[in-house]
Amino acid sequence: MPAVKAANPRTIFAPEDWSAITRVSPWLGIFQIIHAWTVVAFAAFGAAWAWEQSWLAGLVATPIALAILGGRQLGLSILMHDGAHGLLHPSRQVNNWLGQWPSGAATGSDLHAYRAYHLTHHKFTQQPEDPDLSLSKPFPTTRASLWRKAVRDLTGQTFFKQRSHQFAAALRGLQAILRGEAGNAEDKRDTSAGRALNLQSRSGIDAPVANIEGAKTTARTVGRFLFVQLILLAVSLTFWGWLPFLLWLVALATTFQLFLRIRNIAEHACTTTGSDDPFSHARTTYAGFFERATVAPYWVNYHSEHHLFMGVPCYSLPRAHALLGKEGYHAKMTIEPNYMSVLRRVTASPAS
């Protein structure tokens, strides 16, 4: 199918406004990554401190910490996503390092593979060629089905399936690296290693790595992921013990998976996407403090604006939203008042 139609910012924004919202700061991306890791440290070490005070304080602090940690893990993924668009830093080299190491590697994704994969999603949003179509295609669904998905996320089942397939592919890639195997020229285009954060549908989880080069990229991705986990473990043991790292790992296997799913659902499920109307390609969802701390970190909730104008950094998306409203474009957009409203919209009662 043809690529979805793009919006023309020149017909929407004044030149000075467009220049302002597309300016990439040399400091804000770095600050956001530092902010994410600072919140991670306070949540993990804070909960560990609570357990030292009393078992009751620990029981109260732990679910709060897991929610905060899962939200910042999603936040690091969102910042990696900004890096895939070249929006973390005006220097391409610095941008790619920030997106590959302190953000992408923490949750097990490869910036470069994700970039190619994700730009295909933008080009063919909700079309058959969209690699993310399986995330929204099952909706609307029943509440019972959504609850089952949430249970799988919070019990670690989704994490285990994702990582077991990713690690199996990585093992195949490591064997290829050690044996000196090489794929053909077509293999170089494989982007399967970039799907790590988008394998929540059964078809996605079970999809094999396409070829040797994809497996080798996955091996390097998993290597970076494990290296970052070793650093976090060393920091945890140096300053406190096992518990902060254990909380990080449990959040990665549970709350992160749930928040990632809700974010994926909110962005495209049950939208009226069509190639002729760029304002219908995605959904914007307003977020309060709790939602910004969990399912909507770093302004990811302004997803319609992101699809309309990929060159706008995440910290400028609220201003883009306001400018669109000023020009009367909100009526053309899919906007929900909160994430509960989205979940109600994408669920339906079972057929009688």
Is residue 171 situated within a structural domain? no
In a domain, 222, yes or no: no
Asked if residue 231 belongs to a domain, the reply is no
Give the separation between CA 258 and CA 263, rounded to whole angstroms. Answer: 9
In a domain, 80, yes or no: yes
Q: Check: pTM over 0.85? Answer yes or no.
A: yes
Q: Is the pLDDT of residue 185 over 60?
A: no
- Its domain, for residue 318, covers 9-160+240-346
Confidence tier at 348 by pLDDT (50, 70, 90): confident
Alpha helices, DSSP H only, in the chain? 15-21, 28-53, 55-84, 92-98, 106-107, 111-123, 133-136, 143-154, 157-179, 202-206, 212-239, 242-253, 255-268, 289-293, 303-308, 317-326, 339-345
Would the pLDDT of 204 be above 80?
no
> Cα 106 from chain centroid?
12
Domain count across the chain: 1
The verdict on residue 262 lying in a domain is yes
Identify whether 175 is part of a domain. Answer: no
The per-residue pLDDT for 198 is 58
- Write down the pLDDT at residue 202: 47
Q: How far is CA 132 from CA 10, 100, 120, 123, 268, in A?
A: 29, 21, 9, 11, 9
Question: Is residue 205 one of the residues assigned to a domain?
Answer: no
Check residue 44 and give its pLDDT.
98
**Does residue 99 lie in a domain region?**
yes
List the single range of 165-169, 197-201, 267-271 with lowest mean pLDDT: 197-201
**pLDDT, tens digit, for every residue of 26-81?**
999 999 999 999 999 999 999 999 999 999 999 999 999 999 999 999 999 999 99
Q: 220 versus 126: which is more confidently predicted?
A: 220
pLDDT tens digits, one per residue of 232-243: 999 999 999 999
Give pLDDT, residue 352: 36
- Average pLDDT value for the chain: 91
Q: Does residue 289 have a pLDDT over 70? A: yes
pLDDT band with cut points at 50, 70 and 90 for residue 274: low
pLDDT tier for residue 25 given thresholds of 50, 70 and 90: very high
pLDDT band at residue 214, thresholds of 50, 70 and 90? confident
pLDDT at 189 over 70: no
